[in-house]
Chains A and B, each alone.
Chain A
Amino acid sequence: MGKADPLIRNTIRTLRFHHDQMTQRALAEKIGVTRQTVNAIEGGKYSPSLEVAFRIARAFGVPLEQVFQYGEAAPEEATTTSSPDSRPA
């Protein structure tokens, strides 16, 4: 009671936009998942495994914390949120 829900946010959509408007399919092929999974991650419906999270960060050439943020305060560039019910792999 009274404890705010923690949130996992990501900036994948923004990062894709800044990387020559990379498509979800192109990102999916780079990180070895389906386009639907990229869409689910981006939309905050699925929290990826650490391995996939690192692959996403590597695909954009940025540190992991620039792609995913955990906490109550939303960073400026955060585009999506997910609930803690989205189980990590």
Chain B
Amino acid sequence: MSTSFEHKSVWITLVSLIVVLVAYSIPAGYLLASGITIMAPYVGLFIAAVVLQIVIMIFGHIAAALVSRPEEADERDRLIEWRSEHYSSWVLGAGVFMAMMLLATPIAKVWPTHLLLVSMFLAEILKATLRLVSYRRGF
């Protein structure tokens, strides 16, 4: 069975998120390991990562539109998205809570910032994964 445009879009989103997370984590991890706690170099990296994700998403969706006719998300697509978001939001919530706890400590701000960033990425990756599972198993 061929997949819908929305289904392909979720795959593109998942791939872009993983690529961007890895592309950001390697240099950022190196900077963190080097003991750099000022935000400026991370901001530059983050902007580059966002631009990379936008590029992947644009070209991915152009490719998807070439192989299958783009169509609006229907009620099943929306339901799958809402349910996946319901579960993935717990990851983001936990990340925000832990980041708030970290902010109450004298630790450098770069750590809670990255905790927020990682939880945001993981929540989005989980959401995309749950959507793909729902499309696969039926909903």
Contact = CB atoms under 8 A, between A and B. Distances in A.
Contact of A40 (B6, B71, B83, B138): B138
Q: What secondary structure prevails in chain A residues at the interface with B?
A: loop
Interface string A1-29: 00000000000000000000000000000
B81 interface: no
A27 B103 CA distance: 55
Contacts of A87: 79, 83, 139
Interface string B7-22: 1000000000000000
Interface in B94-139: 135, 137-139
A89 B74 CA distance: 11
Interface string A67-89: 00000000000000000001101
Interface string A28-62: 00001111110110010110110010000000000
A32 B74 contact: yes
A80 B1 CA distance: 18
Contact of A52 (B6, B75, B135): B75
B138 A43 contact: yes
B4 A46 contact: no
Interface residues of A, number: 17
A39 B139 contact: no
Contacts of A52: 75
Contacts of B4: 34-36
A77 B102 CA distance: 62
Nearest to A52: B75
A46 B76 contact: yes
Task: Give the one of A32, A35, A36, A48 with max B CB within 10 A.
Answer: A36
Given A45-B139, A46-B138, A86-B139, A34 B74 contact: yes
A45 B79 CA distance: 13
B3 interface: yes
Contacts of B3: 36
Contacts of A48: 75-76
A40 B4 CA distance: 12
Interface of A: 32-37, 39-40, 43, 45-46, 48-49, 52, 86-87, 89
